[in-house]
A and B are shown apart, each in its own frame.
Chain A
Amino acid sequence: MREITGWLLDLYAHPERGLALWILCDDGQRRCVYRPFPVTFYAAGPSARLRALWVYLQSQPLRIHLARSERRDLFRGETVVLSAQLDDPAALPRLYRQVSQAFPDLTFYDADLHVALRHAARYGTYPMARMGLSVDDQDQVQELAVLDSRWKLDPEPPPLRLLTLEPEGDPFHAAPRRLLVSSKRGTSALALEDNPSLLAVLGLMIKEHDPDLLVTSRGDTWLFPKLLQMAEGRALPLNRDPDGPIRQKEERSYFAYNQVIYRGRQFHLAGRLHIDAENTVMYHDYGLYGVMEMARVTSLPIQTAARVSPGTGISAMQIVTALKQGTLVPLRKEQVERPKNPAELLQMDMGGMVYDPIVGLHRDVAEIDFISMYPSIMVHFNVSPETVGTRRPTAEAVPELDMIVDRTNPGLIPQTLGPLLEKRIRLKHSLLGLSKWDCRTQGYQAQAAAHKWLLVTCFGYLGYRTARFGRIEAHEAVTAYGREILLRAKEAAEDRGYRVLHLYVDGLWVQQAGHSTPEQFQPLLDDITTRTGLPIALDGVFRWVAFLPSRMDARIAVPNRYFGVFQSGEIKTRGIETRRHDTPVFVTDTQKEMLECLAREQVNEAGAVLRRRLAELRSGRVPPEQLIVRMTVSRRLEEFRAPTPTAAALRQLEAAGKSLRPGQHVKLIYTRGKVRARAWDLPEEMDPREVDVERYARLLVRAGETVLGPFGTPSAPGGAPTTRSARVQCPPNAGSAPTLGEEVQLRLW
C-alpha cells in the first residue's frame, strides 16, 4: 500500500477499471490510479412500463443491479422508481441512449450526469483538489480524502506544466506556414508544410515536456483535426493516457438568451488537459485562473469547464447539491406554469425596476450596486422552485404578487448558491484591500469574474427552458423582490437628501451637493443594507458622468447608456460604441482616445482627436485591418432574405469554399458599390480603394458625437459646420473645471 498526496488533474470513466484519476503528485510524478465506481440511474412511470424496462435491462449484456425504490423528486416528493445500478460507468451513456429510445414515455433521472459530478457529490472532489490517497499495488484506490476546500480563497497552487501551440495567423484567413510551440523554456517555430518532421518534432517536444496542459489557439477547430489527419492513424502523443481515446464533440449552433450561439468541434484529452483559447466561453475574460476557479466551484472537469457556458456551470452545481441530498436529478423540468389571467401576467412579468436617467452631464455622482442582487435575493428569501407556492404555514407573501415562499426550509437553489455568494463577497472585500501590484490581485480578479458569470446566470436559469431545476414562478418572485428592494433603496437615498439620477435593476446613481468622497456615502450604504437586508457596495464616485439620450429622440432617456470618469481616473462606459462587438477597431480606438481627453477635462482636444482621425480615414491612412466589422451570423445563408452586408460576405466566402455556421462571426469591410461589403477572409488581397470611406466616416462621427454630445458639440457627418448646445446638469455649488459644468460650443468642421 502506498500513500500519495497531490492535486486531482482529471477524472473520467475507464472501460475496464471503473474510474481513472490522474494525480499531480507532490514528488513531481503524474500518476493514474483507478477505483471501481458503480453508477445508478432511475426511471419512473406506469408500473407496466417499468416492468417492461426491467425485462429489457435484464436482457442487456451488462452487470446491472435492478431494484424498486422510493426517491425524492423535488416537485412530486417521494416517488416510486426503478433503480438500475451499473458496475461500469463508461457503459451508461450508451445504455441510456438505448433505453430512452425504447421507452420514450418513461421519466428518467440521474441518467445523463457527468461521472465527475457523481464523484464530487459522493467524495467531495473537484478539479485541482488537494488529495490524500492510499493506493494498492494494482494502482487501485483504497482510501481517498480531500485535504482542502473549494471555498478557500488561496488554495495551494498546483505545479502545472504548460505547453502552448499556436498557428502563425488565423487559418480561416490564410493557411499558416508555421506552428509556434511555447513552454517556459522558450518558443520554437515548426514548419507546417513539412508533415513528417513536424509530427516527429512535435511528438518529441510533447514527450520531453510532458505537459499537464496544452493551451492551443484553434486546437479544436483546426490544429488537432489537421495533426490527426497528418498522422493518418499513427500514434501522436497528445494523450497522456495511452489507453484513453481523444474524445471528440461535434460543432453545433443553438439558440439561447435571444441569440444564436456557436460551439466549435472539441477535442478532450485523457490524462492531459487541452484548452483551445479560441473555442472557450470566457477564457479571454478571466484566463486560466478563471477556468480553474470555474472548474473548482462547479466540479466540472477543467476541459469541460473551459468550454461550457456559466449556465451549464450553475446547473452542475445544482446537480451536485441534489445528488448530495439524495434528490432525483431529472433530465429537464416538466413543471408547467400555473394559470394566470392577462392582468396577472402583466404584473408578474415585469422584470427588473428601471428609472430612466436624467439625461446630461452630472458631477460627483455615486454609483452604488447591490452585490449580486438576484443571487442574494434567492439566498436571503429562500427562493427556489420547490419553496415558491408551497402551502406551508411558514410561507410568506412575495411583494406585489399573489405568491408565497416558504422561508424556513432551505431550498436547493439557495443551498447551492450560498457558499458561492459568500466566497464572492469575501473576494470582493479582499480585493478592496489589495494594491493592483499584489501577487494575489490577478488571481482574485479572475476568480471574482468566474463567480460573477455564474451568479449572473443563476437567476436566468430559474426560468430557462432547459434548466433541470427551473420554475417560472421562482424567476418572477426574484424580480418582484428586486423591484421592492430597489424602491426601498431609493427611498433611503431620498430620505437622506440625495437626488436619484438613475435606477437600473440593482444599481443606483445618486448625487448630493457637497458629497464627493466614498466616506460621505457610507451612512447611505448602511441605511440601505438595514432597510433591505442585502449587501450593497459603492462602485465608485464619478468625477462626472454623462447619461445619454436616444438617438431617435433627444427628449427620451436611454437606461444604462452612459460614460463617466471615477475619481481614480478610471473611465466607465456602458451601451456606447466602445462596448459593441460590431464596432471597427478604428472607431473604438478613436472613441477611447477621445474619452481619455475628456477624462482630463480637455474637451477641445477630444474634438481635435476626432478631426485628426477623420482626416486619416479620408486620406487612406487607416489600415484596412482596423476597419473590419465583426458580425454574428444569425442564420444559414439560404435563410437570408434581405441583401445585408453579412449575407453578401457569407455568399462571397461560400463561393471561395469557406462556410460559416449560425453563431460564428464573419469579418467584413464596408465597400462602395452595389454589394456594400466584402468578406475579410477571402483569399485574394483587397483593393483599398473599394473601402466605403464615407460610411466609416459616418460611424466615426456618430461615435464622436456620442461622447462629445453632453459637452455641446456639432453633428455634421457631411462636413458642414454646425453647433449644438448640450444640456449640462450640475449642482450649482459643485466645483467645475472651465470646460465642464457650463454650456460649451465647439466647431469641428
Chain B
Amino acid sequence: MNDLDLRPHGWTLWILPRPMRHRLLIAAAQVAHEQPLSVLDCGRQFDATVVARAARGRLEVLERLQVQRAFTCFEAARLIELHASSPLPVLVLDLLATFQDENVPFEQRRHLLAGTVQAFQALNRGAGLAVSIHPPPDTPEARWMLDQLRAAASQVLAYETPAPTASQPGLF
C-alpha cells in the first residue's frame, strides 16, 4: 500500500477489506513521523498498540497523532463537521460503520451523510483528507452511501482481500 496521500485539494476514498485495516494505521504512523495528523475513528478501528509499534516507540510521533472516536452516525457527523476547518490533515477511519445502524431511520442517516460529504468538501480545501471504508454489505442503502462517497471523492482506491500468503512449513 502507498503512503497516505494527504495533500490539499483532492481527497482520497480508500475501500479496504477488513484484514488490511492495520496497514492504514501503520501508514498513519508513517505520516506522523513527518507531520501532525487528526484521526477520526468511526468504526473502532484505531488500535493504539499497532500504531505505537509502527512509531517504533518514538513518543513525539505518537504525540503528533490526535485521535477521536465516534460511536454513532450522529457523533460521526458532528465530529467531521467540527473538523471542517481543521488546520491538520485528517484521516477518517471506517466512515460507514455507524451509518449502517438500522436503528436510525434511513432518512436521518441520509441527511447526516449528505452533511458529512459537504464537510469533506470544506476539509478538502484544508491540509488534506483521506477517508477509509470497508466494503459495505450489498443492500440498496449501503450502495447509495457508497455511491455518494465515490462521487464526492477526488480519487478512489479500492483494494481486494489479499490472498493468504504461503507459509514455510516448520522443520521441527
A residues sitting closer than 8 Å to B (CB atoms) are: 100-101, 104-105, 254, 332-343, 345-346, 349, 465-466, 472
Contact = CB atoms under 8 A, between A and B. Distances in A.
A336 B78 contact: yes
Contact of A342 (B38, B62, B75, B105): B62
A343 B75 contact: no
Contacts of B48: 342-343, 345-346, 349
Contacts of B78: 334, 336
Contacts of A334: 74-75, 78
A523 B70 CA distance: 46
Interface in B62-120: 62-72, 74-75, 78-79, 82, 102-103, 105, 107-108, 111, 115
B103 A340 contact: no
Contact of A332 (B46, B74, B105): B74
B68 A104 contact: no
Given A254-B103, A336-B79, A343 B71 contact: no
A138 B155 CA distance: 71
A637 to B, nearest CB: 15
B74 A342 contact: no
A343 B51 CA distance: 10
A340 B64 CA distance: 10
Contact of B103 (A336, A346, A466): A466
Contacts of A466: 72, 103
A300 B49 CA distance: 43
A342 to B, nearest CB: 4
B68 A337 contact: yes
Contacts of A104: 107-108, 111
A340 B107 contact: no
B161 to A, nearest CB: 13
B20 interface: no
B52 A336 contact: no
Nearest to A347: B48
Contacts of A340: 66-68
B59 interface: yes
A341 B48 CA distance: 9
A336 B108 contact: no
Nearest to A331: B74
Nearest to B54: A342
Nearest to B59: A343
A339 B66 contact: yes
Given A104-B107, A339-B38, A343-B52, A332 B66 contact: no
B28 to A, nearest CB: 10
A340 B66 CA distance: 5
24 contacts: A104-B108, A254-B103, A332-B72, A334-B78, A335-B75, A337-B70, A339-B68, A340-B67, A340-B68, A341-B64, A341-B65, A341-B67, A342-B52, A342-B55, A342-B67, A343-B48, A343-B52, A345-B46, A345-B48, A345-B67, A346-B49, A349-B48, A465-B75, A466-B103
Contacts of B64: 341
Contact of B66 (A333, A336, A341, A472): A341
Nearest to A104: B111
Contacts of A339: 38, 66-68
Contacts of B103: 254, 466
Contacts of A254: 102-103
A524 to B, nearest CB: 37
Nearest to A330: B74
A467 to B, nearest CB: 10
B68 A342 contact: no
A337 B69 contact: yes
Contacts, number: 67
A332 B79 CA distance: 15
Nearest to B82: A336
Which secondary structure dominates chain A's binding surface? Answer: loop
A332 B49 CA distance: 31
Contacts of B107: 101, 104
Contacts of B75: 333-336, 465
Contacts of B70: 336-337
A337 B38 CA distance: 13
Given A346-B48, A346-B49, A341 B62 contact: yes
Contacts of B82: 336
B51 to A, nearest CB: 5
Contacts of A335: 75
Nearest to A345: B48
A651 to B, nearest CB: 21
Nearest to B69: A337
A465 B103 CA distance: 12
A412 B38 CA distance: 32
Nearest to B111: A104
Nearest to B107: A101
B63 A341 contact: yes
Contacts of A332: 72, 74
Given A104-B108, A342-B48, A342-B52, A336 B65 contact: no
Interface centre among A105, A254, A337 (most CB of B within 10 A): A337
A335 B75 CA distance: 7
B17 to A, nearest CB: 14
A356 B111 CA distance: 48
B65 A342 contact: yes
Contacts of A343: 48, 52, 59, 62-63
A186 B16 CA distance: 64
Given A105-B111, A339-B67, A466-B103, A346 B52 contact: yes
Given A334-B75, A466-B72, 6 more contacts: A105-B111, A254-B103, A337-B70, A342-B51, A349-B48, A472-B69
B118 to A, nearest CB: 12
Interface string B34-63: 000010000000101101100100010011
A223 B145 CA distance: 41
A671 B32 CA distance: 55
A339 B82 CA distance: 12
B53 to A, nearest CB: 10
A465 B66 contact: no
A465 B72 contact: yes
A465 B73 CA distance: 10
A466 B103 CA distance: 10
A335 B74 CA distance: 9
Nearest to A464: B71
A468 B43 CA distance: 20
Nearest to A338: B68
A332 B108 CA distance: 13
A270 B129 CA distance: 55
A343 B70 CA distance: 18
Nearest to B50: A342
B117 to A, nearest CB: 15
Contacts of A342: 46, 48, 51-52, 55, 62, 65, 67
A333 B76 CA distance: 12
Interface centre among B48, B63, B78, B79 (most CB of A within 10 A): B48
Contacts of B51: 342
Contacts of B38: 339
Nearest to B77: A334
A403 to B, nearest CB: 15
Contacts of A336: 68, 70, 75, 78-79, 82
A104 B107 CA distance: 8
Nearest to B137: A639
A343 B68 CA distance: 13
A282 B149 CA distance: 43
Contacts of B105: 101
Nearest to B103: A254
